[in-house]
Amino acid sequence: MLHLTYSNRMEVLAAPLAERVGAAQRADPLTPVLIVVPNRAVEQFVRFRLAERLGVAANLKFSLMRRFLADLVTGADPRVRVLDKEALHLLLFGRLRDEGLLDEPGLEAVRAYLGRAGDPVERDLRALQLGGELARLFEEYSFSRRAMLRRWRREVTLAGTDLARAESWQRRLFLALFDERQCARIDPVAPPAPLAPGFGQLSLFEAPSPRSRWMMLIDAVFALRERLPLPPVVHLFGISYVAPAFAEVFALLAERTELCIYGLNPCLEFWEDVTTVGLRALREGDARRGEKLADEVSQSADPFGLDRPGDTPALRLWGRPGREFIRLLNEMCECRFASGFIDPLGQAPPTLLRRLQRDVLLRAPETAAAGPETPGPDDSIRILACPGIRREVEIVADEIWALIRRDEQAGDRADPLRFHEIAVMVTDADREAYLTHIESIFRERHDLPFNIIDRSLAGQSRVVEAIDRLLDLPLSDFNFEQVMAVLTHPAIGGARADELDRWRAWCAQLNIVFGADRRDLEGTYIDEDVFHWDQAARRLALGAFMTGERSGDVRVYETATGVWLPFETAPDAVADVGRLIALLRGLIADARACEAAEMSLTDWAIYLTRLVTTYVRTDAVADEIALSQCLGALERLRSADLEGQIVRFAVARDLARLGLRGLEGWRGQHQADGVVVSSLLPMRAIPFKAVFVLGLGEGQFPAAARNDPLDLRQA
C-alpha cells in the first residue's frame, strides 16, 4: 500500500517519518527500519532530525535507491546479477571489437567511425569511448524509455526522424547484447584464472558463477517481482525526482508492502491545473484512466503541458522534472495524500524571498509588469557581481562574518545564528577551483570554521595525482617534464624534500630532452647517445665514483657500447644517487612492460595494483585512506571483466582513470560546527538560515543544453 506525504519543507516531512519510525521501533525494537534516501546529505539530515524527535537514531538502515533495488534482486535470486554501467561498458566495447558483428548490415556508421583510427591502439580507444557513451545511454533508456526498448524486439521506433540512422545501429547493438529475456549475452574468452592465495583485497571481488544471469537493474526487478524479499515497510524520503521506470517500481513495491513516500512538493495541492479542474475532478479522472502515465511521460516531450506560458516562471523554467514525478505519484495513489504545507508568510515578515516562495506555493500566475503591491528589493535575495572566483569567495566570507556579527549585536539569545546553519553551495562548473579558494580564504578572513560535505578524492589527496602520473608514463615519449613530474612527486618513491630538490638540480644539468634510451631517438637527426634518460642514469652512476667537469676533469668513459662523460656528485650523495637511479630504472622498466603487454582486465587489475603499491608512498593517515580507496577502484576493474577480453594497456589505463575520477573524498557533517560547503545538487533541499550559491556566472549556470546526436531521448 502506498502512503504519500507532501510538503514544501524538508523539516516538515521529518515529522511523519519520525512518528512511523517510533511506532515501528516500539512494536519491534530489534528489526531495522529501512529508509531509502537520494544521497548521503539527506541521510545525515534524517539521522539528526530523528535523533531530535525520538531521542536516539538507532537501528536504522539507510540505502540509496539503486543499492536498495540491487540488494532486493540479489536476495530474490543470487544467480541474477545487476549489470552496472562499468560492466555494460566493457560488454559493448567487446561488441565494437567484434569484426564479424560490425560486418553485419546496419552497422556501417560504426564501422566507418572505428575505421578512421590511425592504428590499433587508437581504434581500441575509439571503441572504448563509444562503448562508454552507449553504456550511459542504454542505462538511461532502461530508466526512461522502456517502451522503446521493448519495441526494439519487433521494429524501429524513430523511422522518418533525424535520429533514425542512430537508432538503427544502436538497436542492432542492443539486440546483439541482450536476449529475449533481457539477459546479457556473455561470451567468456577463457575461464577466469584463480588469484594467488591471500592477494590483498582482490579476494573481495569474487568471479561470478558461469550460471549467473546479468540484467539491467529495472529489468531484473520486474523479472523477479514475485520473489523480492521486501521488508514490512519501506520509507522513501526526500526524493524530488526519479525517472519514469522508478515510478513503475514504486507502484510494484506498493502492491507488495507498505511504501511510505515523503516527497518535496513546492505547490499547495499538486502540479495539475487545480484552478480549472479541481482536486475532486482530477481524482475521478485519474481513477477512470487505465493508461500508465510512466509510458506517457517517456514517449512525449511535454505530456502534461507543463511548459505552457502564464504559469509561475520558477515552476515553468526549473520545476518540470519534479512536476512530472509528482504527477506519476498522484496517479499511483489516485491523488490521495497527506499534506504538510507551510505558508512562508504565515509567521514571518513578508520579505521578497518569502513572497517568491509563496507565489510558488500558490502557483501565482506570471505578471507582465510590477504592480502597486509588488514588493521592492531587500536583503533576503541578493545577487552579487564578482570579477573572479577569488573575489567571489572573499565577498561570501565577509558576508558570513557580517551575518554572525549582526546576529550577535541583535542579541537574540533564544535562537542565535550558528555557523552550521549557513550553507555555501557551489555549482558543478569549476567546483574544485571554488573549493580550493574556500579552504584558503575562509581561514585567512576571520578564520571561519567550515565543513566540506562532498569533494572528489583528487581534491583532497595528491595520491590520486601520483597514480594518474604513473598511468601516463607508459604511453608517453619520456620527455623531461613528464618523467620529472613522476620522479619528484611527493607521494612517489618516498624521497625527502631535500632529496627531491637535489634530483631536480641534477636532472636539469644532465641535458635530458626525451626518450627512455637510444631506441627512442632512432629515426631522428640525433645519432649520439645523448638527451635521453638512460645516458643520464649512466653518467650519474659513473659520477658517484669518478671525477668529472666539477673537478675540471673532462675525460670520458668509453666502453664497447658507448661513450659517457661522468656527472660528478659529492661523496656524501652516493646514497641519493643510488635511490634516484633505482627509481628511474624501475619506472622505465615497468612503463616499457605496460606498453608491450596485452592481457585480461582481471590481470591488469592485479598488475596495476602492484604497480601502485610499489611506487606510491604515504605518511599521513588521510593519504593512507586515499590510497586504500584508489586500490579498491583499481581492483574493482575485475568485477566488470565478465568476458575476460584481452586488452592493451591504453584501454586498462582509461578504465582505471574512470574509476579514480569517480572517487569521493571523506565527508563532513552538515550539522557539525562550521559553515556547510557543498555542491548544489545534494544539499539544495536541506534547510538553512542563510544560503550562498557560488558559480552562477553568465554562461556557467544554468548549463547550456547539450545536443547529443546519439541520444534518442531527444526525438
**CATH number of the domain where residue 200 is located:** 1.10.10.160
Other Cβ atoms within 10 Å of 228 Cβ, number: 20
Going by pLDDT thresholds of 50, 70 and 90, the confidence category of residue 349 is: confident
State the pairing for strand pair 2-7/338-339.
parallel
Give a yes or no: residue 536 inside a domain: yes
- Give the pLDDT score at 699: 78
529, with CB counted inside 10 A (0-12, 13-18, 19+), is middle
Both 412 and 423 in a single domain? yes
DSSP-assigned states of every residue in 580-620? HHHHHHHHHHHHHHHHH-EEEHHHHHHHHHHHHHHHB---S
Looking at the fold, whether 425 and 494 belong to one and the same domain comes out as: no
Last residue of a domain, one of 339, 374, 398: 339
In this structure, of 531-535, 608-612, 657-661, 663-667, the range with the lowest mean pLDDT score is 663-667
Give the domain CATH number at 438: 3.40.50.300
Same domain, 467 and 563: yes
CA torsion angle 193 196 202 206 (round to 10): 50
Residue 109 belongs to some domain of the structure: yes
- Contact at 8 Å (CB) between 129 and 116? no
Which domain covers residue 639, as residue numbers?
A: 463-644
C-alpha pair distances (Å), 659 with each of 86, 126, 375: 9, 18, 50
Determine which helix (DSSP H) or strand (DSSP E) holds 472, and give its type and residue range: helix 463-472
Q: Do 330 and 410 reside in the same domain of the chain? A: no
Taking a C-beta distance cutoff of 8 angstroms, is the pair 506, 566 a contact?
no
Q: 329: domain CATH number?
A: 3.40.50.10930
Is 511 domain-assigned?
Answer: yes
Number of structural domains the chain divides into: 4
- Residue with the bigger pLDDT between 120 and 372: it is 120
Residue 137's CB: how many other CB atoms inside 10 A?
Answer: 19
User: Are 612 and 509 contained in the same domain?
Assistant: yes
Same domain assignment for residues 130 and 29: no
- pLDDT, one tens digit per residue, over 154-190 is 999 999 999 999 999 999 999 999 999 999 999 887 5
556 and 671 share one domain: no
> Please, what is the Cα angle at 407 between 406 and 411, to 5 degrees?
115
Rounded to whole angstroms, the Cα distance separating 671 from 49 reads 10
- Domain assignment present for 381: no
Q: Classify 674 in phi/psi space as left (phi over 0), alpha (psi -120 to 50) or beta.
A: left
**C-alpha distances in Å from residue 406, one per residue of 8, 415, 493:** 29, 13, 52
Same domain, 486 and 619: yes
Looking at residue 277, its pLDDT comes to 36
209 part of a folded domain: no
Report DSSP letters for 514-581, one per residue. S-SSGGGGTTSS--SS-SSHHHHHHHHHHHTTS--GGGT----EEETTEEE------GGGHHHHHHHH
Decide if 709 is inside a domain: no
Angle between helices 574-596 and 480-487 (to 10 degrees): 120
| Structure-block grid coordinates of residue 405 | 556579527
Predicted model pTM:
0.87
Determine the length of the chain: 715
* Residue 183, beta-bridge partner list: 215
Instruction: Give pLDDT tens digits for 191-233.
Output: 444 444 444 444 444 445 557 899 999 999 999 999 999 999 9
pLDDT at 320 over 90: no
Residue 621 shares a structural domain with residue 688:
no
Q: Model confidence at 276, in pLDDT bands (50, 70, 90)?
A: very low
5 in Cβ contact with 19 (< 8 Å): no
Do 86 and 42 lie in one domain? The reply is: no
- How many whole angstroms separate alpha carbon 309 and alpha carbon 254? 36
Statement to judge: residues 170 and 125 lie in one domain:
yes
| 571 found inside a domain | yes
Q: Which residues pair with 7 in a beta bridge?
A: 264
Give yes or no: residues 119 and 18 share one domain.
no
Cell representation of residue 11? 523539516
694's grid cell: 557560488
Mapping DSSP onto H, E and C, the string for 390-426 reads HHHHHHHHHHHHHHHHHHHHHCCCCCCCCHHHEEEEE
Res 88: pLDDT = 97
As a whole number, mean pLDDT of residues 657-683 equals 85
Q: What are the φ/ψ torsions at residue 671 (nearest 5 degrees)? A: -110, 15
What digits encode the pLDDT tens for the residues 549-592? 888 888 888 888 888 899 999 999 999 999 999 999 999 999 99
Sign of CA dihedral 438, 439, 444, 448: positive
Q: What is the predicted pLDDT for the residue at 63?
A: 96
CATH code assigned at 520: 1.10.486.10
In a domain, 701, yes or no: no
Last residue of a domain, one of 339, 370, 402: 339
